[in-house]
Structure 1
C-alpha cells in the first residue's frame, strides 16, 4: 500500500484539499493508498512513500533531507489539479519501479 502525506503550513486547509484530490486520483488509478495530511513541522514524524506539497514547503522538507528522501517530495503547482497530481504520481511510481500497470 502506498503511503501518501499531504503537507501545508497549518495542516488544515491546503493539505486537506490536496488529500481529497489525491484520494480521487489514486482511486481512479486503482492504487491502494493510505493518505494523511499534516503540517510541515510535523511531516518528519510520518512514514510515507510520497509527500505532496507546494514549492514553499517542499524547500523546507528537502533542506536537510538525503537525496533519497528528497526524491519522494512532489511539488504541486496547482494543489487541487487532478491531472497534475495524476501525472506526477504516475511519473514518481514509474521512476521508483512501483507501477506495474501502464496508466495513461
Structure 2
C-alpha cells in the first residue's frame, strides 16, 4: 500500500486541504493508499512513499535528504488542484513503474 504524507507548517490547514484533495484523486484513480497530514517538524518521523507539500517546505525536507529521499517529495504549486495532484502522483508512479488501474 502506498503511504502518502501531506506536510505544512502547523499540520492543520494546508496539509489537511492537500490530504482531502489527494484522497479524491486516489479514489478516482483506484489507488489504495494510506494518507495522513502533519507538520514540517514531524514529517521525518513518518515513513512515506510520497510527501505532498509546497516549495518552501520541500526545501526544508530536502536539505539533509539523500537523492532517493528527495524523489519522494512532490511540490504542489496549487495545493488543492486535483488535476495537478493527479498529474504529479501519476508521474511519480510511472517513474517507479507502478501500475495504476484507472488513468488515461
Range of TM-score over shorter length = over 0.9
* Unpaired runs of at least 5, structure 2: none
Aligned residues: 104
Write out per-residue CA displacement over residues 14-46 of structure 1, whole angstroms, 9 at most, x where no aligned residue: 000000000000000000000000000100000
Greater shift, 90-99 or 21-30, is seen at 90-99
Structure 2 counterparts to residues 8-47 of structure 1, below 5 A: 8-47=8-47
In the other structure, the counterpart of 1:62 is 62
The root-mean-square deviation of aligned C-alpha atoms, in Å, is 1.0
Aligned match of 1:85: 85
Q: TM-score, normalized by length of structure 1?
A: 0.97
Q: Deviations over 1:1-22 (max 9, x none)?
A: 1100000000000000000000
| TM-score computed with the length of structure 2 as normaliser | 0.97
